[in-house]
Structure 1
Amino acid sequence: MSKAHVTLSAAALNRGVEHPTLGKDNLLSLFESAVCPAALVSSLWALAYYFEGSILPAYLLLAVLTFALTFPGESRLQTSVGTVLLDIVLNWIWIAGLLGVTGYATGYIREFSQDALIAWLWAAPATEVAASFGLRLVAPMVLKLQGPKQRALIVGMNEQGLALATKLKDSPYSRIELAGFIDSRSTDRLHPDSPYILLGKIDQLACIAQQNRIQVIYLSLPMASQPRILAILDELKDTTASIYFVPDMFVTDLIQGHPSAVCGMPVISVCETPFRGFSGAIKRISDVVFSLLILLMITPVLLAIAIAVKMSSPGPIIFKQRRYGLDGEEILVYKFRSMTVTEDGGAIQQAQKNDSRITPLGAFLRKTSLDELPQFINVLQGRMSIVGPRPHAVAHNELYRKLIKGYMVRHKVKPGITGWAQVNGYRGETETLDKMQGRIDYDLDYLRNWSLRLDIHIILKTVRLVVKDQQAY
């Protein structure tokens, strides 16, 4: 099963938060980065003047802090109305919460009028919404101030070149006007249904660029074509066009590909964890906070299940099994025992429907996923995350890593109690290679497109599915 079988991709779910940028040279992007922070500050000053009669120094300091926390503003011109509203509300809850906690901790909150602060909690997001949609009205005029669009061409009518062309075409606020493509291949080898113009061959590139007054050139050629790329760059020295290299992302399956540098040398990562730096801190903090809250709420349930397991059949209450964790290191994962056996050897049989090893209580625990509740302790230990690829037994890992390409890439992150594959129909037994391939496809899709919003979506979907899902046994 290939990536095409991932019917709902994490990238599609994240599309609302993956805001397309307009480019640093776009005057509109400057307006966009400043309009929402300015709206928050202006609403604060207006309320300060209304309630206090003047803008006191305390409000000036709060305005500076607010602007520093929100500038540059997020790019929302090309997102849906619902996504804009949700983003503004969620961002404001975060900003207001941070400012409120800081104010209480320092005692500085006493310098403000309580009525003004309460009014600002409602007025600030409303002003930001008005500013965001107001910018959409004036955006066409701002674009005209920058003069005519820049004419561009793409060298290489391949998948990434066509994808770039589509993005340029679908962006109403882009300053780029695509003139067409350059490619030396015969027309029967190109995309026959492409709506874009083929201007000529690569050896004519410099001449075509001059004749068509091209200002931007995107090189979308395979990485294996380095000699050809060097020759093209040499020829283009005779033009004034800006040149950009579109990496051949289809030469391999990138996991969290992003530009970086090693000892000053620019590189593009091919396979990396999404939890670097700030993202890693956010992931860990959310894991700890959610796990503590959940464990506090379910403590009576844990005690009741422990007593029931002990009384229903002989054996330990907690079943510990070796799993592969982060970077393929072995970890011990906790579960309430649901079988009469506690297998953890070199060959392990997955649980099947009507499996005689499963106890009556165990069948209920597995169906409702209550057997996995002790894994919140694993999360607090730092061995697991609440959301991530489900951990497989060591014996299963050793089997499938030989059969499925990219299988071990899922261990670039900590295993999870629930995951993207599990909420998309791959929970329970994977008795065929195709089913395991489908699970891995979703796991890798999660790694490529992780976001905190995706984690929250998976958690909420897990809660909805856990009772009615009949696939686990």
Structure 2
Amino acid sequence: MKLMAKRVFDIGMALGALLILSPILGAVAIWIRLDSPGPALFRQERVGLAGRRFQILKFRTMRQDAAVNGPQITVGEDVRITRAGVFLRRHKLDELPQFFNVLNGEMSVVGPRPEVPRYVELYSVEVKKIILSVRPGITDPASLAFADESSLLNRAIDPESHYVNVVMPLKLEHSIQYVQTQNFRNDLQIIWKTMVAVFYG
């Protein structure tokens, strides 16, 4: 029953957000196309509920060739990020297309952030069992705790190693705690905190 209620809430919020934000989504898409060559949307394979893979949607914030010219994580003032991308990332506007993922049933509004397959393969069996037992989300406690993740990694000698060995385990702790204690009230609090963080950049 709780899962059904959460799904109904997700659909209602996604539909409402897409309806209200449709002018902004259109304007951002045009801005991205004018700012640099390439599509407005970026798709990347992520791992979701029960280990099923799906294509996460984001507004493109990097050059079109970014995937073949650098790591999968973003570090500091990454030269691959476009001018529009700097603003979109700062205000988390690049995540807005994920409301379509929510409508498709691939994601929830609140839930552990989905990772790329090669990082999920590093999870222990027990962690996989917990994290992949729910739909991944657009926002979660780990996203709030590591809102400045890119700058944090920029200070590391080996950013990817630091992410895998230090940051990712800490994010997983947040995600596991969320899954084990999730409830509607907590979801509303996370959504509110995310809105505040987005507003203040």
TM bucket (normalised to shorter chain) is: 0.7 to 0.9
State the alpha-carbon separation in 2 of the partners of residues 300 and 426 from structure 1. 26
Q: Which segments of 5 or more consecutive residues in structure 1 lack a partner in the other structure?
A: 1-277
How far the C-alpha of 1:349 sits from its partner, in A, is 2.8
Aligned match of 2:96 in 346, 361, 373?
373
Structure 1 pair 463–390 and aligned structure 2 pair: CA distance change class (3 A): same
**Matching residue's letter, 1:401:** Y
Query: In structure 1, which of residues 337, 340, 350 is the aligned counterpart of residue 73 of structure 2?
Result: 350
Deviation at 1:426, TM superposition (A): 5.3
Q: Does the 8 A contact of 2:37 with 2:64 survive in 1? A: no
Q: Percent identity?
A: 36
Query: Do structure 1's residue 326 and structure 2's residue 66 form an aligned pair?
Result: no
Give the AA of the match of 1:443.
Answer: S
What pairs up with 1:5-20 in 2 under 5 angstroms?
none
- Letter of the 1:458 partner, please give it: I
Q: Distance in 1 between matches of 2:40 and 2:188?
A: 30
For residue 456 of structure 1, the aligned residue among 185, 188, 191 is 188
C-alpha distance in structure 2 between counterparts of 1:357 and 1:334, whole Å: 18
Cα distance, 1:424 vs structure 2: 2.8
Structure 1 residue 428, shift from structure 2 partner: 3.4
Displacement of 1:406: 1.8
* 8 Å CA contact 1:401, 1:408 repeated in 2: no
Q: Does structure 2 conserve the Cα–Cα contact (< 8 Å) formed by 1:327 and 1:413?
A: yes
Amino acid at match of 1:307: I
Q: CA deviation at 1:395?
A: 2.7
**Alpha-carbon distance in 2 for matches of 1:317, 1:456:** 30
Which residue among 408, 412, 416 is the counterpart of 2:133?
412
Change (3 A) 1:343 1:413: farther
Q: Which amino acid aligns with 2:28?
A: I
Contact 1:322 1:333 in 2 (8 A): yes
CA apart distance, 1:303: 0.4
Q: Is the 8 A contact 2:91 2:199 kept in 1?
A: yes
Task: Report the Cα offset of residue 344 of structure 1.
Answer: 6.1
Greater helix proportion: 2
TM superposition outliers: structure 1 runs of 4+ over 4 Å:
342-345
Q: Which residue of 1 aligns with 2:156?
A: none
Query: Is this contact kept in 2: 1:321–1:332, CA < 8 A?
Result: yes
Answer yes or no: is the 8 Å Cα contact 2:54–2:106 preserved in 1: yes
Q: Which residue of 2 aligns with 1:339?
A: 62
Query: Does the aligned pair in 1 maintain the 2:46–2:56 contact within 8 Å?
Result: yes
CA distance in 2, matches of 1:453, 1:342: 42
SS in 1 for 2:141: coil
Kept after mapping to 2: 8 A contact 1:421/1:439? yes
Task: Return the offset for 1:468.
Answer: 3.5
CA RMSD of aligned residues (A): 2.1
Matched residue, 2:166: 434
Instruction: Provide the C-alpha distance between the structure 2 equivalents of 1:369 and 1:417, rounded to a whole number of angstroms.
Output: 10
The answer (yes or no) to whether the contact 1:391–1:416 under 8 Å persists in 2 is: yes
Query: Which residues of structure 2 form unaligned runs of 5+?
Result: 154-158
**1:369-391: per-residue Cα shift (whole Å, max 9, x none)?**
10111000110011100000111
1:424 aligns with 2:140: no
Q: Distance in 2 between matches of 1:438 and 1:303?
A: 36
Q: 2:9 aligns with which of 286, 292, 297?
A: 286
